[in-house]
Structures are given as C-alpha cells and as structure tokens.
C-alpha cells in the first residue's frame, strides 16, 4: 500500500483536524503517502484531492471544524455516482481510504467496499455519539462541554428571574448529549427519544421541583415531542406556563476540541492507518474501555447503541 486517502463527511465534529493530522503522520512513518479528499463524498465525486504532508497538517490539532471541509452528499445514494467516485479514487492511485463521519458516511463507505472492493475503514466522527461499537465518537466530549457551559449560563438568568427555560441540544436520533448535560447541569427534566416524554410529569416537575419557579428542562432535538419549541407550546396551551426556549444548535459543533477528543482522534487515526495496512476493510475503528475495536460498518448503524441506564436513572433521582 503506497497511497491512502482520508476524508471527513457529514456534520463536522471537533477533533477531526487532530484526526487528519494523526493519519498523515502515521502514514508517513509507515512510508505511505496521504491524500486529503476535500469536501467529503462531493469532493470524491468531483476529484477534489490534495496531497497532505507534515506542513499542511501542522498547527491544526486545536482547531475546530475540518480543514478537509465536509458535506452532506445526497448524490451518493445513486449507484452511478458511486461508480464515478471510484473512478476518481483509481485515477489518483488510492489503495485505501479512511472515512471519518457518522452513519450516513458509513453507509456510503460500506457500499464502496461491497460494490467496488474499495479498501475502506470508518472512524467515528460525530457529536451525536450514536454509533454502536465505540464508547465515544470524536467530537462528543467537546460538544457536551460546550453545551454545559451554555446551560450553566442559562441557569444563572433562569434563577435570577425565576423562569422556566427549555434548552434544546443536538442529537438527531439519540439522547446522549441531552442526558449527559442534563445530569451535569442538574436539569429538572431531560426529554430524550429513548424515553417517552410525558407533559403531565414535566408539568408536575416544574411545579414541585423548580426552585423559586426556576426550572431548566433539557430537550434532545430528536425527542418524539418534536423539540423544545413544540414541547413549550404544548405546556403553554395545556397549563398556561410559557417557558423561554433556547436552541443551542450549531454552536455545539464548533470550537477547539477537548483533550479527550484530541487523544481519541489521534489514537483512532493511527489505528485506522494500521488497520488498512493490515488488510482490514468495511469496519469502523473505535474504542471500548481501553481497547481498540473493529466493528463491521453495518453493525454500527444496525445495532442500537443505548444511552446508559445509569444516566437515565440519575436524571430522575437527582432532581
């Protein structure tokens, strides 16, 4: 194997740059050249490739976003487009690929392997932490810390005014971010897709647990209620309480990665290069406890990754 490629795809996640750096450095040590595909699957389709070296990947460890850019690429659902992307990989002499992203990224990577025999390994890069086979995804630790700082600030003003706040955090289908920050910030209620959100219980909690009427409710965007805005409207129409609503949104995706994310990104980057060199393909390289894991890409989205039950228990015990 003489030349590998790396790309970042889907929602960007803090730590992706540290990951790209680790891949380039590891490959260089193993005598392999690294190509960066710019703009995720769109860049692969359009032949937007650039040679990475130590200089290009210097001083990026602490930067949020991704120097390789990213995209959502619906064209990749089309088999002809995937075949065109494979032509680009072949034209550029790519022997193996590291795909850093979430389940959408892994679906595409799996198809490249199955349909065209491309040697490809995935690495978990998403703030949602919703991929089976790894304890944590690159970007998650930074996102929960960013959200926690914001929620602490909201609590200050909520407390001063004796107000009810509904704060919506990201997590398209999963409540990892909501549950972790809910416990970390002492939310009076945490609404997540993993548990049924009950407006009566929520109201009861606001009335009985809120201190001096100050209440902070964390709502995962994937909650079946439809999100913070909808939940607040239901509460208002049923009980006449009109909470303030804050949607944290994309602020959770930016910023310098935490030490945890940088170290995870570095370890998985080095391991992904070695996995390719060992002949592995169609797997995600992750980490469980202290160990590296190699999980078939299909399993990462087909097997449900559960929010730890201890978090759900704590979120109700400690209110």
Any idea which residues carry the catalytic annotation? Answer: 128
In terms of DSSP bridges, do strands 3-8 and 164-169 run parallel, antiparallel, or are they unpaired? Answer: unpaired
Nearest to 192, CA basis, from 165, 154, 234, 221? 221
Nearer to ligand F6P, 128 or 180 (CB): 128
- Residue span 58-97 as binding mask against ligand F6P, x where in contact by CB under 6 A, dash where not: --------------x-------------------------
Please report, for residues 53, 57, 58, 300, the alpha-carbon distance to residue 28 in angstroms, rounded to integers and kept in the order given.
8, 12, 14, 29
What six digits make up the tokens of 267?
């370890």
Nearer to ligand F6P, 56 or 107 (CB): 107
Stretch that binds ligand F6P, among 85-93, 121-129, 154-162, 183-191 (CB under 6 A): 121-129
Nearest to 125, CA basis, from 282, 249, 261, 263? 261
Would you say 269 and 20 are in contact if contact means Cβ atoms under 8 Å apart? yes
- Residue span 229-258 as binding mask against ligand F6P, x where in contact by CB under 6 A, dash where not: ------------------------x-----
Please report, for residues 163, 216, 229, 312, the alpha-carbon distance to residue 204 in angstroms, rounded to integers and kept in the order given.
15, 14, 19, 18
* Residue 193 is a binding residue for ligand F6P (CB under 6 A): no
- Minimum Å gap between C-beta 139 and ligand F6P is 8
Nearer to ligand F6P, 29 or 72 (CB): 72
- Minimum Å gap between C-beta 249 and ligand F6P is 9
Number of residues that bind ligand F6P (CB under 6 A): 11
> 3-state DSSP call for residue 224?
coil
Which residues make beta-bridge pairs with 49? 37
* Residue 119 is a binding residue for ligand F6P (CB under 6 A): no
Q: What angle do CA 169, 138, 113 make, to 5 degrees?
A: 115
Cβ burial, residue 199 (10 Å; 0-12/13-18/19+): middle
Q: Which residue has the tokens 């619906």?
A: 74
Nearer to ligand F6P, 24 or 130 (CB): 130
**CA 70, CA 205: separation in Å to the nearest integer?**
41
Q: Which of 96, 102, 193, 220 binds ligand F6P (CB under 6 A)?
A: 102
Q: What angle do CA 260, 289, 127 make, to 5 degrees?
A: 45
Chain residues 137-176 in contact with ligand F6P, contact rule CB under 6 A? 170-172
Chain residues 257-316 in contact with ligand F6P, contact rule CB under 6 A? none
- Minimum Å gap between C-beta 230 and ligand F6P is 16
Show the beta-strand stretches assigned E in 9-119. Answer: 33-37, 49-52, 96-101
Q: Which of 26, 34, 126, 197 binds ligand F6P (CB under 6 A)?
A: 126
Nearer to ligand F6P, 128 or 141 (CB): 128
Q: Which of 6, 7, 9, 11 binds ligand F6P (CB under 6 A)?
A: 11
- Minimum Å gap between C-beta 170 and ligand F6P is 3
Nearer to ligand F6P, 102 or 108 (CB): 102
**Interface residues with ligand F6P (CB under 6 A)?**
11, 72, 102, 126-128, 170-172, 221, 253
């Amino acid at each position: 194997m003489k030349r590998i490629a790396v790309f970042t795809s889907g929602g960007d996640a803090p730590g992706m740059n540290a990951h790209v750096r680790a891949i380039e450095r590891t490959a260089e040590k193993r005598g392999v050249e690294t190509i960066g595909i710019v703009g995720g699957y769109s860049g692969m389709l359009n032949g937007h490739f650039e040679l990475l070296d130590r200089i290009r990947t210097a001083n990026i460890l602490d930067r949020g976003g991704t120097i390789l850019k990213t995209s959502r690429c619906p064209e990749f659902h089309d088999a002809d487009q995937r075949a065109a992307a494979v032509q680009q990989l072949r034209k550029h002499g790519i022997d193996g690929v590291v795909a850093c992203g979430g389940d959408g990224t892994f679906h595409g990577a799996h198809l490249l392997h199955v349909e065209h025999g491309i040697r490809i390994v995935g690495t978990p890069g998403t703030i949602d932490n919703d991929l089976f086979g790894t304890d944590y995804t690159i970007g998650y630790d930074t996102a929960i810390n960013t959200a926690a700082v914001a929620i602490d600030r909201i609590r200050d003003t909520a407390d001063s005014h004796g107000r009810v706040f509904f704060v919506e955090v990201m997590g398209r289908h999963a409540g990892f971010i909501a549950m972790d920050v809910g416990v970390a910030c002492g939310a009076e209620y945490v609404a997540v897709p993993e548990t049924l959100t009950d407006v009566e219980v929520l109201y009861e909690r606001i009335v009985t647990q809120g201190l001096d009427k100050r209440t902070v409710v964390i709502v995962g965007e994937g909650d079946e209620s439809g999100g913070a805005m909808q939940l607040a409207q239901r509460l208002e129409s049923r009980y006449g309480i009109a909470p303030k609503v804050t949607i944290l949104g994309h602020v959770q995706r930016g910023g310098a990665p935490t030490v945890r994310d940088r170290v995870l990104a570095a370890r998985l980057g080095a391991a992904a290069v070695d996995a390719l060199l060992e002949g592995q393909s169609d797997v995600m390289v992750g980490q469980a406890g202290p160990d590296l894991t190699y999980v078939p890409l299909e399993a990462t989205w087909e097997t449900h990754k559960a929010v730890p039950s201890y978090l759900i228990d704590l979120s109700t015990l400690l209110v």
